[in-house]
Chain A
Amino acid sequence: MLEVRRLTMRFGGLVAIDDLSLTVKANQFLGVIGPNGAGKTTLLNLITGYLTPSSGSITLEGAALVGRKPYHICRMGIARTFQVVQPLAEMTVLENAMTSVFYSGPHRVSITQARDRAFEALSLVGLAEQSGMLAGALTLGNKKKLELARALATRPRLLLLDEVMAGSPQSDVIDLMHVLRAIHASGTSILMIEHLVPVILALAEHVFVLNFGQELYQGRPEDVVTHPEVIESYLGKPLTALADA
C-alpha cells in the first residue's frame, strides 16, 4: 500500500532519515519503534507532505506523494495524529471532528451529516460526553483521543499514529488498544509509532526498528524484542526484565 523507497532527509549537516526503505502492506498493522531522535516523527512528516525529502520516493498504491501538500495527501486517504497535540482550541470537540469531515472527502457533506459522522468518531474513541467542551479545555489524554478522532473522521485508508497513547492513563491505553484493534479489523492499514513497547507488541503484526534514520531491524514483534541490537540501542535490557521491573 505505502512504499517508501531510499528516502533521505537532511537538515543542513544532520541526516535525519538515511536511505530508508519501508513498506506498509494493505491492511497491515505496522509498529515503528526506535530511540528519541531516530527520525520517527520526521518520517511521518515526510509521508504527509509537511517536509519534502532530500531524495527518494514515497508512493501510496502507486501514486507519488512527494511534492504533494498535506491537504492533498489527506484527501488521498492518509490521516495522521500529531505527537505534540494540535487541538483547534477555540472550537468545541465536536466542531474539531466536524471540520475533519468537511474537506477530507471527494463529496460535499452537509452540516448534519458531518455532525453525525463526527459524533460517531468521538463515540468510538470515548469522547462523546466531552463533545460540547472547547478542545483547549480537554486534559492531555483527551486531547490525544481527539487527535485520533479527528484522524478517524476523515475516513482514512491508512492511519499514521504518532505516540497517541504515551502520557495517557493505563485505563485509557487499554480502551484505545481495543479501538485500534477494531479500526484495523474494519480494513484500515495502520502505521503506529509508540514508545509503549508492550502496546506495540500486543497490536502490531510487524515491527520496524528505526535508529539514526536507518533500519536497524524489522520482523515479527516477538523476534524484535529478543534481537540483541534492538535491546542494546533501544530497549536497554530484555523486555522480560523490563516487565519484572
Chain B
Amino acid sequence: MNANRESGSPTSLPIALLCYGAAAVAAVALPLAGSPLAVNLMLRAGSIVMLAISWNLAANAGLISLGHSTFWGLGSYAALLMGNRFGWPFLPSILPAMALGAAVAALLAVITGRLRGIYFAIATLALSEGLRVIAVMLPDLTGGGAGLFIDQTLRPEPRLTAIVTALGAVCFALLAHLLSRTPFHYACRAMRNNEHASQMLGINPLRFRITVLALSGAIAAFAGGVNIWYGGFLDPDIGFDLHITILAQIGPILGGIHTLAGPIIGGLATLLIAELTRMWFGEQGYSLLVYGAILIVSIMYMPNGIYGTLRRLCAPWTKRRAAAKTALVAS
C-alpha cells in the first residue's frame, strides 16, 4: 500500500537498532585492530557519511545547501582554537565546535528568512566563501593564509579520532532514523513540498528551518572538529574547502536523496569510487576524471540513487512476499 520510499520502511525498529549496534561495534573494533590504512579509511568513511546525513537532513526540509564547508570549517576552527588557546583536549573541544556550527546555522536560517531553492543555495555558498575570506583576514586568530598547526602535545592517537568519527556517524544515522518516526519529519517534508500551504496545517516554517539547519550544522561541525585533530593543520582553504561542500551532497544524491539509507550507501560508495580510481590511476589527473564520469553516469541512470535502484530491483520480490502474507491472513 505504501508507495513512498521516505517512510514506512519495511525494516522494523528492533532490526534497525541491531544494525546500528553492529555498526557501532565495527566502528570501535576496526580502527583498534587495523593498520594505519584502516584507521584512515574509517575516519574518511565516518566523515563522508556524517556530511551526507547532515546535508540530507536539510534537503529533507527543502533546504539545498551549497555551503556545507561553512559548518565543517567552523567546527575545525573552533576545535583547534579551543585546543591551542585554552588547552582543551580532543573530546571536550568537539562540543563548542558543534555549538558554533549549530549557532551559525540557526543564524543562517533566520537571515535567509523565506529564501528557498536556488536562492537559499546561493546564500549558503556566499556564506562559506565569505567565512573563508574572513579567516584569511584574521591572521591573529586563524593564522591567516599561512594556517595553524594544532598543539602537538594535545593531539590524540589517530585511531581514537577514527573511532570517534565512525561512532559519530553511527549515532547521527540513528538520530536521523529516530527523527524519521516523529512529527518533525512530516513537518520538514511538508515544508519541502509546499511551505505556503503547510502553514495552513499549523506548521511554523521558521521554527523547523532553524531546528533542522542547527542540527545539520552541528553534525557537519562535529565532522570538521574531529578531522582537524586527525589532520593537525588548518588553513582557510582546507577549512572552507569547496570539496567538502561537494562531498556533502554527492553522498545523498548518489545514494538516494531524502532517504535514510541513501546518504550512508552513497557516502560509502563515494569513498569506494575515490579509492578504486586512485589505486588504478594514481594520485593525479585521471582519477578525478573517472570519479566525475562515474558520478555523472550514475546520476543520469539512477535518478533515485543506488538505494532507489535497489528497491526497484527488489520490488517484485517484496511485492510477492507481501502478497503471500495477505493470502496467509485471508485464508
Residues on A facing B (Cβ under 8 Å): 48, 50, 69-71, 74-75, 79-80, 82, 86-92, 95, 98-100, 102-105, 108-109, 111, 114, 131-134, 137, 150-151, 154
Of B193, B197, B202, which contacts A104 at CB under 8 A? B202
Query: Judging by beta carbons under 8 Å apart, are B200 and A80 in contact?
Result: yes
Nearest-CB residue, chain B, relative to A150: B201
Q: List 15 A-B contacts (CB under 8 A).
A: A50-B196, A71-B203, A74-B199, A90-B6, A91-B186, A91-B189, A92-B4, A95-B4, A102-B183, A103-B183, A103-B202, A103-B203, A104-B201, A111-B182, A131-B1
Say if the beta carbon of B190 comes within 8 Å of chain A: yes
Given A86-B196, A91-B189, A104-B202: A132 in contact with B183 (beta carbons within 8 A) = no
Q: Is B183 touching A134 in the complex (CB atoms < 8 A)?
A: no
Which residues of the other chain, A, contact B193 by a CB distance below 8 angstroms? Answer: 87-91
Contact of B190 among A69, A70, A99, A151 (CB under 8 A): A99
A95 to B190, CA, bound (A): 9
Q: How far is the CA of A143 from the CA of B189 in the complex (A)?
A: 18
Contact of A154 among B2, B192, B196, B202 (CB under 8 A): B202
A79 contact from B4, B194, B200, B258, Cβ within 8 A: B200
Interface contact B197-A86, CB-CB below 8 Å: yes
Question: Per a CB cutoff under 8 Å, which of B3, B182, B183, B202 touches A74?
Answer: B202
How many Å from the CB of A126 to the closest CB on chain B?
Answer: 17
B261 to chain A, nearest CB (A): 17
Chain A residues, Cβ within 8 Å of B203: 71, 99, 103
Chain A residues whose CB sits within 8 angstroms of the CB of B2 once the complex forms: 92, 132
Cβ distance A129 to chain B, nearest Cβ, rounded Å: 10
| Set of chain B residues within 8 Å of A86, measured between Cβ atoms | 194, 196-197
B204 contact from A71, A90, A132, Cβ within 8 A: A71
B84 within 8 A of A: no
Can you name the residue of chain A whose Cβ is closest to the Cβ of B199? Answer: A70
Residue B309 interfacial (CB < 8 Å): no
Contact for A91 among B1, B181, B190, B200, CB less than 8 A: B190
Total A-B Cβ pairs within 8 A: 96
Is B298's CB within 8 Å of the partner chain A?
no
Tell me which residues across on chain B come within 8 A of A75, comparing CB atoms: 202
Question: Taking A131-B1, A134-B3 as contacts, is the C-beta distance between A88 and B198 under 8 angstroms?
Answer: yes
- Alpha-carbon separation in the docked complex, A50 to B2 (Å): 33
**Residues from chain A with Cβ under 8 Å of B181 in the complex:** 111
Chain B residues, CB < 8 A from A131: 1
Which B-chain residue is minimally distant from A80 (CB atoms)?
Answer: B200
Q: Which residue of B lies closest to A48 (CB)?
A: B200
Q: Which residues of A contact B40 (CB under 8 A)?
A: none
Given contacts A88-B189, A90-B192, A95-B186, contact A69 B3 (CB under 8 A): no
Q: Is B187 an interface residue (CB 8 A)?
A: yes
Smallest distance from the beta carbon of B117 to chain A beta carbons, Å?
15
**Interface presence of B211 (CB below 8 A):** no
A7 to chain B minimum Cβ distance, whole angstroms, is 20
Q: By the criterion CB–CB under 8 Å, are B7 and A95 in contact?
A: yes
Leading 7 A-B pairs by shortest Cβ distance: A86-B197, A103-B202, A132-B1, A104-B202, A88-B193, A102-B183, A70-B199
Contacts A99-B190, A103-B203, A134-B3: A111 and B183 contacting too (C-beta < 8 A)? Answer: yes
* A103 close to B201 (CB less than 8 A): yes
**How far in angstroms is the closest Cβ of chain A from B251?**
20
Q: Give the distance in Å from the alpha carbon of A48 to the alpha carbon of B196 in the complex.
A: 12
Contact (Cβ within 8 A) A99 B200: no
How distant is the Cα of A114 from the Cα of B184 in the complex, in angstroms?
13
